[in-house]
Amino acid sequence: MFEEGKVSEIAPGVFVRHAVDNCTWAVLDDFVVIVDALEQAHLADEVLRHIRETTDKPLGYLVNTHWHGDHVACNIAFAAAGATVIAHESAAPDKSGKGDGRPDITFGTSLSIRGGGRAAELHHMGGTHTPGDIALFFPWAKVLGVGDLFGWGLIPLTQITDESVANLKQIMQRLLDFDAEVIVPGHGPTVTSAHLQRFMEYFQTLLQEVPAARRAGKSPEQIQAEMPRPDDMLDWWRFDWKHPHNVEQIARQCA
Ligand SMILES: [Zn+2]
């Protein structure tokens, strides 16, 4: 159940503050790992209070799944509260010292953070939503954070090309291979692998049908009108505007 600002423990030691901009934190044995830092800096105190209600362990790390404004706004506050900021090396080329919200640590391919018996695994999944997308896996909890690689039906690509589509398919398969029980997207309710699979089927269908309709002389607006949301996706979060947006994007880019 999605309720803005509500915190729930989605697996042992893994909490999500559900919101338009999700914030996840995992309690390792020695410290806390936070995933993403929202779009509104003024929410930092509230999120830190929520974290304090679930654990008294120190803040260890803040991982930004990618370097977009709606994922990094509380970086300065979380860093001031003790978190070391981690992002992909492509995300912040002007990396500098501690405390200014920019990454203290960057990495290329993967990074494992051990806090006693529990670990957080960070994997670079870039070249899809942004060059620096990171997925985080918490193996003991079987929770996977995917940032905006899954956008509740929103196509995560800015440019739809054969190459970017092939890359997205590969990334999605890598995400499925974690065999996670709960997947936390950057925005909206948590999902399961079935949602990722359904999205890729849906995307594939659009990639066939929308360019075909364009070639038959239909305008993007006509195609939107004639192609409603699939019945089984009607309850997808904010999909009422994402679906027509997707149709329009393919119509304009893949004519
Ligand atoms: Zn985002």
- The pLDDT tens digits for 72-95 are 999 999 999 999 999 999 886 555
Task: Report whether 26 contacts 143 (CB < 8 A).
Answer: yes
Say how far apart CA 136 and CA 175 lie, in whole Å: 10
Helix axes 193-215, 239-253, angle to 10 degrees: 40
Say how far apart CA 173 and CA 178 lie, in whole Å: 9
> Three-state SS for 119?
strand
CA atoms within 13 A on the CB side of 23: 30
Ligand 1 centroid distance, CA of 69 (Å): 8
Q: Distances in Å between the alpha carbon of 55 and those of 27, 28, 29?
A: 7, 10, 11
Ligand 1 centroid distance, CA of 149 (Å): 9
Say what the pLDDT of residue 9 is.
97
Task: Report whether 62 contacts 72 (CB < 8 A).
Answer: no
Mean confidence (pLDDT) of the chain: 94
pTM: 0.94
Mean pLDDT of 57-63: 97
Indicate if the alpha-carbon torsion angle 96, 110, 61, 114 is positive or negative.
negative
For residue 172, pLDDT over 60 is answered with yes
Ligand 1 centroid distance, CA of 222 (Å): 29
Say how far apart CA 10 and CA 202 lie, in whole Å: 27
Q: Which residues pair with 33 in a beta bridge?
A: 26, 61
Contacts of 119 (CB under 8 A, 6+ apart): 28, 112, 113, 138, 139, 140
Q: Of 2-6, 11-15, 158-162, 179-183, which range is least confident?
A: 2-6
Ligand 1 centroid distance, CA of 171 (Å): 17
Ligand 1 centroid distance, CA of 12 (Å): 25
For residue 196, pLDDT over 80 is answered with yes
Ligand 1 centroid distance, CA of 80 (Å): 23
Say what the pLDDT of residue 98 is.
56
Residue pLDDT, tens place only, 108-125: 999 999 988 999 999 999
Ligand 1 centroid distance, CA of 231 (Å): 26
Q: Which residues surround ligand 1, an ion (CB under 5 A)?
A: 70, 148, 186
Say what the pLDDT of residue 1 is.
59
Say how far apart CA 54 and CA 21 lie, in whole Å: 19
Ligand 1 centroid distance, CA of 68 (Å): 6
Say how far apart CA 191 and CA 152 lie, in whole Å: 9
User: What percent of the chain has pLDDT above 90?
Assistant: 88
Ligand 1 centroid distance, CA of 70 (Å): 5
Ligand 1 centroid distance, CA of 27 (Å): 23
- 238 Ramachandran zone, left/alpha/beta (phi>0; psi -120 to 50): left
Q: Return the CATH superfamily for domain 6-191.
A: Ribonuclease Z/Hydroxyacylglutathione hydrolase-like (3.60.15.10)
Report domain extents, the chain.
6-191, 193-255
Strands (E), 103-216: 105-107, 110-115, 118-124, 134-138, 143-147, 182-185
Ligand 1 centroid distance, CA of 158 (Å): 13
Indicate if the alpha-carbon torsion angle 109, 204, 241, 25 is positive or negative.
negative
